[in-house]
Amino acid sequence: MNSIQKNRLKDQLFKFWGIACTLFALILLVVFIGDILIDGIQRIDWDFITDLPSRKAEKSGIYTALMGSIWILLLTTIIAFPVGVAAGVYLEEYSKKNRLSALLEINISNLAGVPSIIYGLLGLEVFVRIMGLGASVLAGALTLSLLILPIIIVATRESVKAIPQSLRDASYALGASKWQTIWNQILPASGGGILTGVILALSRAVGETAPLIVVGALAYVPFAPASPMDEFSVLPIQIFNWISRPQHGFVENAAAAIIILLLITFVMNGIAVYFRNKWQKKLK
Amino acid sequence: MRKIKEFVIEKSLLSSALITIAVTFGIISVLAVEAFQFFSEVSIVDFLTDSQWTPLFTDKHYGILPLLSGTLLTSFIAISVALPVGLSISIYLSEYAPKSFRKTIKPLLELLASIPTVVYGFFALIVVTPFLQQIIPDLSGFNSLSAGIVMGIMIIPFISSLSEDALHAVPKAMREASYGMGATKLQTAFKVVVPAASSGIIVSIILAISRAIGETMIVAIAAGQQPRLTFDPTVPVETITAYIVQVSLGDVQHGSIEYRTIFAAGITLFVFTFLLNTLSFYIRKKYRQKYE
């Protein structure tokens, strides 16, 4: 075999290796979801969704955890959405190239990489203790809002940046002020992209476990929260709690709750992708 | 009137942006204040050199090394899985795969990254550990091997996606020059494209390491809660993050030394990830748009 043939052989071998690696990851994804479906699907019925948690596995449901997750999701949206978009718009439309903008940029990039559990420690000290909110839904939502803020800011900046300058010039030419231009032209035009980023950020928040454990969310809550000041649990914490119990019935419960959680996550991701595609078409 | 309105709006937008600075400031001061009080009771030398971490026992030792070794061990295993697989995927997708295949596969791989980590923890404990026990009979029910491997799978899309972006950004002319010299795709990939995209690839690896060090639920569920200074992947260990979870689940009084240990552990974790993130930021900044 001469060196050309050798090189071609190596080339082919690497190609198969690349395909093998890609398939490996995808097959794992399938095995993963398949295994959880097998373990949990027969446990899911209406009672499982509406039952309160119980010491007996077969009587336990996810009602309180699901309601907790919905509360967290709503409050986090209300808090993080306006702040994140406002910050993103500021950085892209107002901020001049100076020391402050450079600091803001490196800071946001750094915050995006801070482990989620550190946000939990921040929330525990600031929201739970100093502000006296206790281990409430509000404290949890504030903590998760800070966690997803960088994601929303980055998504907003990218979307606003994608709007052509001609749109701004046209608006200014008609005598609109800067804010009128942003409010009437830029935000509607970049809405699809911002929405995509916000939904992706929220889908991350729904799956977060560690920061909420640190903030003091409970594994066992007898009632669904009725106000932002109530204590709460969320789906991922309920799952974590069931995984750590030895009896087999709870493993089944955990798998069933995971199916619900994955469903929520994947639906949110699906919606996000839908908005992105629609928006990108519109932009063109 | 209009000027005042514009001014007020601009300042309120600015204050939203400044919240991010407040968050960083908050994180650093919260960690520093609690850790400072911790170090007024425990000597920093003990913290860095004692080989035992037993703050919840009667015989208390406060050496961070066992938690650090647990964290580094699980992260090392994760990166050993994610790096070769993730890089191979990125090179395959960018250099070999047809465009349509690439377009379908990338979102599917990114789906792996959107799965909540508690779900990966379930997978590690319920599926991977029993499977590995058939191969390694001595493997403990909680171990860093299984947690590390599953964490590696979770990190694959981080490396593959970011590296693929970097490889894809290398101009076509460079590849064509290499093909023109008679090089194969493999030679072109490793001698031309990968070196040209190296800064982007390095950034993706650094971010993956930072992600592995800070990962919590997989290790809290599958690696155990026994801090020990070991690099044996078959026995239970405890990571910094898993320790914080363990204490948070219990009933620890504010102001007690146990309460402060989680901040001392937290600041250790923060320092590591902060250094890695800052490093990746500067690499990205320095080499950005090299080819545009």
Residue of A201, A205, A116 lying closest to B273 (CA atoms): A116
Q: Which residue has the higher pLDDT, A132 or A58?
A: A132
B169's CB contacts (< 8 A; 6+ apart) are B197, B200, B291
Count CB pairs under 8 A between chains A and B.
250
Is the domain of A204 the same as that of A63? yes
Domain count within chain A: 2
With a CB cutoff of 8 Å and minimum separation 6, the contacts of B128 are B146, B149, B150, B222
Which of B150, B286, B84, B206 lies closest to A20, judged by CA? B84
Task: For residues A161 and A218, state if they share a domain.
Answer: yes
**pLDDT of B110:** 84
Q: In terms of domains, do B170 and B31 share one?
A: no
Query: B232 and B126, same structural domain?
Result: yes
CATH number at residue B258: 1.10.3720.10
- Chain A hits for B117, CB-CB cut-off 8 Å, are 207, 209-210
Q: For B269, which of A10, A118, A208 is closest by C-beta distance?
A: A118
Give the total number of structural domains in chain B. Answer: 2
Do both A55 and A194 map to the same domain?
yes
Distance between CA atoms of A117 and B217, rounded to whole angstroms?
10
Domain with B186, as residue range(s), is: 65-287
pLDDT of residue B283: 87
For residues A201 and A259, membership in a common domain is answered with yes
Provide the percentage of residues in chain A whose pLDDT is more than 70: 100
Is B49 among the domain residues? Answer: no
Interhelix angle B2-41/A137-161, rounded to 10 degrees, is 130
Burial class of residue B38, CB neighbours in 10 A (0-12, 13-18, 19+):
buried
**A11 and A78: one domain?**
no
> For all residues of chain A together, what is the average pLDDT?
91
In angstroms, the CA A13 to CA B12 distance is 58
Residue B222: name the closest of B147, B151, B115, B152 by CA.
B147
d(CA B279, CA B274): 8
Which residue in A205, A199, A222, A210 sits closest to A269, CA to CA?
A: A199
Best mutation target among A92, A121, A252, A276 (most B Cβ atoms within 10 Å) is A121
What is the Cα–Cα distance from A169 to B82, expressed in whole angstroms? 47
Shortest CA distance from A248: residue in chain B: B126
**Distance separating the N- and C-terminal Cα atoms of chain A:** 52
Q: pLDDT tens digits for A68-90?
A: 999 999 999 999 999 999 999 99
The interface residues of chain B toward chain A in range 181-210, judged by CB-CB distance below 8 A, are 184-187, 189, 207, 210
The answer to whether residues A86 and A180 touch, using CB atoms and an 8 Å cutoff, is no
CB < 8 Å to A126, chain B: 26, 30
Dihedral, CA of residue A171, residue A177, residue A179 and residue A180, to nearest 10? -50
Q: Are residues A172 and A230 in the same domain?
A: yes
Q: Any CB–CB contact under 8 A between B113 and chain A?
A: no
Assigned domain for B190 exists: yes
Terminal-to-terminal C-alpha distance of chain B: 44
Residues of chain A contacting residue B31, judged by C-beta atoms under 8 Å apart: 118, 121
Q: Based on the fold, state whether residues A24 and A133 are members of the same structural domain.
A: no
pLDDT of residue A248: 80
Q: What is the pLDDT of residue B289?
A: 54
| Residue B202 included in any domain | yes
Q: What is the pLDDT of residue B292?
A: 47
Facing A110 at nearest CB: one of B127, B215, B277: B277
Q: Has residue B53 been placed in a domain?
A: no
Nearest partner of A69 among A194, A239, A272, A243, judged by Cα: A239
B30 in contact with A at a CB cutoff of 8 Å?
yes
| Residues A36 and A115 placed together within one structural domain of the fold | no
Say if residue A18 is in the same domain as residue A114: no
A283 neighbors A70 (Cβ within 8 angstroms): no
Confidence category of residue A273, pLDDT binned at 50, 70, 90:
confident
B122 and chain A: CB distance < 8 Å anywhere? yes
Determine the pLDDT at residue B132. 94
Distance from CA of B42 to the nearest CA of A (A): 20
CATH number at residue A211: 1.10.3720.10
The alpha carbon of residue B214 is apart from the nearest alpha carbon of chain A, in Å, by 5
Q: What is the SS3 assignment for A179?
A: helix
ipTM over 0.95: no
Q: Please classify residue A45 by burial: count the beta carbons closer than 10 Å to its beta carbon, then call 0-12 exposed, 13-18 middle and 19+ buried.
A: exposed
Structure tokens at A83: 């702040």
What backbone torsions phi and psi does residue A136 show, to the nearest 5 degrees?
-100, 165
A39 CB neighbours in chain B (<8 A) are 126
User: Chain A interface, mutation test: which of B12, B27, B246, most A Cβ atoms within 10 Å?
Assistant: B27
Residues A95-114 have pLDDT tens digits of 888 888 889 988 998 999 99
pLDDT, tens digit only, all 292 positions of chain B: 778 988 999 999 999 999 999 999 999 999 999 999 999 988 888 898 888 888 888 888 899 999 999 999 999 999 999 999 999 999 999 999 998 988 888 888 888 888 999 999 999 999 999 999 999 998 998 999 999 999 999 999 999 999 999 999 899 999 999 999 989 999 999 999 999 999 999 999 999 999 999 999 999 999 988 898 989 999 999 999 999 999 998 877 888 888 899 999 999 999 999 999 989 888 888 876 555 4
State the Cα–Cα distance between residues A225 and A67, nearest whole angstrom.
Answer: 7
Q: What pLDDT digit, counting tens, does each position of A145-182 carry?
A: 999 999 999 999 999 999 999 999 999 999 999 999 99
Alpha carbon dihedral B111, B112, B114, B116, in 10-degree steps, equals: 140
Q: Confirm whether B54 is domain-assigned.
A: no
Kindly state the DSSP code that residue A43 receives in the 8-state scheme: G
What pTM was computed for the model? 0.93
**Contacting residues for B100 by C-beta, under 8 A, at least 6 apart:** none
Q: Which of A125, A114, A123, A185 lies closest to A151, judged by CA?
A: A114
Residue A36: list chain B partners with CB under 8 A: 119, 122-123
A142 and A185 in a single domain? The answer is yes
Rg (CA), chain B: 23
**Beta carbons of B67 and B53 less than 8 angstroms apart:** yes
Enclosing domain of residue A26: 3-43
